Structure 1
Amino acid sequence: MAGIYIHIPFCKQACHYCDFHFSTSLGKKNEMITAIQKELFLRKSELEQTTIETIYFGGGTPSMLSFEEIEAILESVYENYTITDNPEITLEANPDDLTEAKIKEFSKSKINRLSIGIQSFFDTHLQFMNRAHAGDEAIKCLEIATQYFDNITIDLMYGIPKMTMQEWKENLEIAFSFNVNHISSYVLTVEPKTALEKFIRQGTCPDVSGSESWAHFSMLVEETEKQGYIQYEISSFGKPGCFSKHNSSYWKGATYIGIGPGAHSFDKKSRSWNVSNNPLYIKSIAKDIVPITKEILSLDDQYNEYVMTGVRTIWGISLAYIQEEFGEVYVQHTLKVAASHLQEKNIQLEANIIRTTQKGQFLCDGIAADFFRV
């Protein structure tokens, strides 16, 4: 089984924290859709022996496209690939795009999962992040969307400067009140070359606080567990049977291709990525050339990929898998690195599976880096 990720590189405005590839100009939208459809055709041989189980529209903001434009891209997927009978098809969307008419249209399409970028229900937080919607729009959007879609995930962000514990708790309580079956919750991260990084450097914005972020994270884990969610990945909380199939395939090392400018692909032995430039992408595809850069993964790279994703999930790092795929040298390396983290109670080792503790989850990037073989 494999997945297809489709990157829609358009946004109404730039969120201050975002470092994804996008453009706020829709001038080349039609050419972009045509190019995405053509890339799907040009790369169909990569997955001709595989059945597609998940299709994910990400971005950018896919909900900026019309129902007809999304349908046209989906038709190209079905024309060029073998799709399982009941695929998970996710559309990322922002509340300000999801009118009732648009939600109704999408509900009649093959899309069966909405990923709604709420981030917060408080206007002060949304304005700080430079989001395009307001808190009341987010609530109205969920009131409508939950009438038409059974499978909804929402994004919430914590660690926002000046966000109080009470505000964070209210964000969670509002989300719970809609009985959404999945929540993806991320700590605000200061990425290089973003507006947020510039504001903090200039002193016009307070820096994010590690202690406040940890307090928010602890509440997130505690409150979602009370509501019956399972934290199956550090930032992902799903009701039983409602885990994201597409994202889970990433963390389990499944094959996927990324379509569109800036999109990444992975086939266990290599990773690749398309050029992050809309005009160059469109021109190249028009010449039947996919503007892609490919990196062949060494055995160390493959091991690093495995531990990097494993430490983030409930499936953890399997010593038996490492033995089978990489050999005894890698098992001994893993155990040697694990020793100090076991002492610090950042991880636990049970039945030959290494998993992070709650304390370790907040430190997982550093823990993964310690396991890397360079």
Structure 2
Amino acid sequence: MIALKSSGMNRVSLGIQTFSDRFLKEMHCAHTPEKAKQIINLLLDYGFTVNIDMIYGLIGQTKEHLEYDMEVLNSFGAPHQVTLFPLRIATHTPLGEELERKEGITIKAHFKRLLEFDAFIEKTMLNNNYFREESPVFYHKKGAYEHKYHSTETRIVGIGSSAGTLLDDGEGCNFHNVDEYISAINENRDPAISGVALNQQQAYERFILYRIIYMNRSLPNFKEIVEQRFMEHYGVPMGDIYDKVLEDMRRLRFIKSGTDKIIFTDRLWMVLNKVKIGMPSIL
């Protein structure tokens, strides 16, 4: 800790995932719940800005398991940021087969459970002085906001199988099969299984679409926040692009019509599970 602090580092992100010894062992994690608690408290004592990554919706995880994770999570001295990732399971994958074998439920039922867990998590975190501006991130009201990061506003180069690349003018996804990926690298071939080039309008629409999907859409000033982020990122007004994206989503039956709230349909989640590259391909 002293070495990290003296080198100028001030923020640490920890992949805790869960405080359940059972699930940590099933995921083959190297740490234990006790070790995780010790490190979190130590980092806070040394004055680091701390983010804790958690996963919910694990196969076999019940509401009681989640309640325990939330109880432990909120027992610390206010970690500045908590990122709670839902375990989204795609069709025709080993996890999908394991879900059906161990729990006897469909992926659609799993998504419904994720939504129920998410509602419980949000209520619990809000009651513990966190606020939610973008999913899946919660920020503590005690001085964490200036340390927030915007994961969808970065430029990313994906290295490794299944890794995704996200650039201003395009995006793509590498081969999912490890052997195919390695062969492409060894043969000096492009390891991307697919990719798409974006024009400026598409890039603008993708920016807004990411925010609609990942930010807290229930905020009363949601559109104004998106507009501010858009101006900060591109240096030009958002104009009517936000309304166009919403209309496209309604047309494709990704959000429900006849309501002022942005409510996603099951169709959106099913399509997202099948998308091999980024979001523009769904509009």
**Which band: TM-score by shorter chain?**
0.5 to 0.7
**Matched residue, 1:169:** 67
1:16-55 deviation line (CA, Å, top 9, x unaligned)? xxxxxxxxxxxxxxxxxxxxxxxxxxxxxxxxxxxxxxxx
**Matched residue, 2:171:** 271
In structure 1, list runs of 5 or more residues that go unmatched.
Answer: 1-102, 348-359
TM-aligned CA deviation for residue 230 of structure 1: 1.4
**Matched residue, 1:341:** 256
Whole-Å separation in 2 of the counterparts to 1:197 and 1:367: 13
**Matched residue, 1:189:** 88
After TM superposition, the structure 1 = structure 2 runs for residues 139-218 of structure 1, keeping only pairs within 5 Å, are: 139-178=37-76, 179-191=78-90, 195-200=94-99, 203-204=101-102, 206-207=104-105, 209-218=110-119
**Matched residue, 1:111:** 9
In structure 2, list runs of 5 or more residues that go unmatched.
Answer: 217-221, 273-278
**Matched residue, 2:210:** 309
Name the structure where strand makes up a greater proportion of residues. Answer: 1
TM-aligned CA deviation for residue 162 of structure 1: 3.8
Whole-Å separation in 1 of the counterparts to 2:191 and 2:120: 42
Whole-Å separation in 2 of the counterparts to 1:112 and 1:226: 27
What one-letter code is carried by the residue in structure 1 that aligns with 2:74? F
TM-aligned CA deviation for residue 318 of structure 1: 4.3
Which structure's relative contact order is higher, taking Cα pairs within 8 Å and 6+ residues apart? 1
Whole-Å separation in 2 of the counterparts to 1:144 and 1:159: 28
Determine if the alignment matches structure 1 residue 242 to structure 2 residue 167: no
Aligned length, in residue pairs: 251
Identical columns (%): 16
Whole-Å separation in 1 of the counterparts to 2:264 and 2:145: 18
Whole-Å separation in 1 of the counterparts to 2:98 and 2:157: 32
TM-aligned CA deviation for residue 129 of structure 1: 3.2
TM-score of the aligned structures, taking structure 1 as reference length = 0.53
Which range is displaced more, 325-334 or 117-126? Answer: 325-334
1:203-238 deviation line (CA, Å, top 9, x unaligned)? 245546344323321111111111221111121001
After TM superposition, the structure 1 = structure 2 runs for residues 10-159 of structure 1, keeping only pairs within 5 Å, are: 103-159=1-57
- 1:229 is aligned, of 130, 148, 158, to 130
